[in-house]
Amino acid sequence: AHRPLIAPSILSADFARLGEEVHAISGTAGGGATRADWVHVDVMDNHFVPNLTLGLPVVQSLRKATDLPLDCHLMIEDPDRWAIGYAEAGAYNVTVHVEAAADPVMLAKNLRAAGAKAGLSVKPGTPLEDHLDTLKHYDTLLVMSVEPGFGGQSFIPDVLEKVRTARRLVDTGHLKLVVEIDGGINADTIEQAAEAGVDCFVAGSAVYGAEDPGKAVAALRDRAAR
Ligand code: DX5
Ligand code: ZN
């Protein structure tokens, strides 16, 4: 198995001190276990989800504030219109929701052409089966393990069936995806997600609710690797 990727969500960080909060998961000189793999950035528009967070200007500033890859999770309507801006702002991966995208195949092509990886996310109630052809055009699959909108919710174990399906399709060469999970991931839930075949683990409250976010990153990665 590969080294598990940990992507702390800054949704649970102090937005007034974002630079320091990202620094806290940037590891020590020379990298090390306390360094996050990606920074997960939750963009919400108060329409696709009932919460409002941050947008392009903040992502542009974050791009200058850290060398960690930015993993932008767009919980917004009309991603066909807005997602490209995040790729152009230097996001490493731009994830859109399949429930919101009008033409997800075209969107993936545009994101890749703009230099980003293309991510597709499914809400807990959205089946994978209907979107397998679409996923051929994507680099990452973000399986939501809570209803999108808020940090600190409880993990929904039912979604692990989708993770297992995706893992099987990747391992048999039918899809080429980084399998990512988002919602309720903490020291207690990360092992079952790892066992189901997740490559990249998003964690908000489990990282930024900890006294030392860097140590929380290292501890989560350690548990996922067992
Ligand atoms: C929720 C967001 C998540 C959130 C996860 O809609 O997509 O990224 O920050 O927070 P936790 O890890 O606290 O469930
Ligand atoms: Zn997210």
Among 37, 71, 139, 182, the active-site one is 182
CATH number at residue 49: 3.20.20.70
Contact 71, 41 (CB under 8 A): yes
Domain range for 178:
5-225
Any catalytic annotation for residue 103? no
Domain count along the chain: 1
Structure tokens at 223: 């548990």
Q: How would you write the pLDDT of the chain (226 residues) with one tens digit per residue?
A: 589 999 999 999 999 999 999 999 999 866 689 999 999 999 999 999 999 999 999 999 999 999 999 999 999 999 999 999 999 999 999 999 999 999 999 999 999 999 999 999 999 999 999 999 999 999 999 999 999 999 999 999 999 999 999 999 999 999 999 999 999 999 999 999 999 999 999 999 999 999 999 999 999 999 999 7
Ligand 2 center to residue 95 CA distance, Å?
Answer: 9
Half-sphere exposure for 135 (CA within 13 Å, toward CB): 24
Tracing tokens 């990665």 back to the chain, one arrives at 221
Any catalytic annotation for residue 188? no
Atom of ligand 1 nearest to the CA of 152: 13
Question: Which residues, judged by CB distance below 6 Å to any ligand atom, belong to the binding site of ligand 1?
Answer: 9, 11-12, 40, 42, 73, 146, 148-153, 182-185, 202-206
For residue 2, what pLDDT is reported? 80
Residues at the binding site are 9, 40, 42, 73, 149-152, 182-184, 204-205
For residue 32, what pLDDT is reported? 86
For residue 31, what pLDDT is reported? 65
At 94, the amino acid letter reads V
Is the CA virtual torsion 172, 177, 183, 188 positive or negative?
positive
DSSP string computed for 102-147 = SSHHHHHHHHHHTT-EEEEEE-TT--SGGGHHHHTT-SEEEEESS-
For residue 1, what pLDDT is reported? 59
At 32, the amino acid letter reads G
pTM attached to this predicted model: 0.98
Contact 194, 4 (CB under 8 A): yes
Among 37, 42, 45, 71, the active-site one is 42
**Which residues 6+ apart lie within 8 Å of 101 measured at CB?**
79, 80, 107, 120
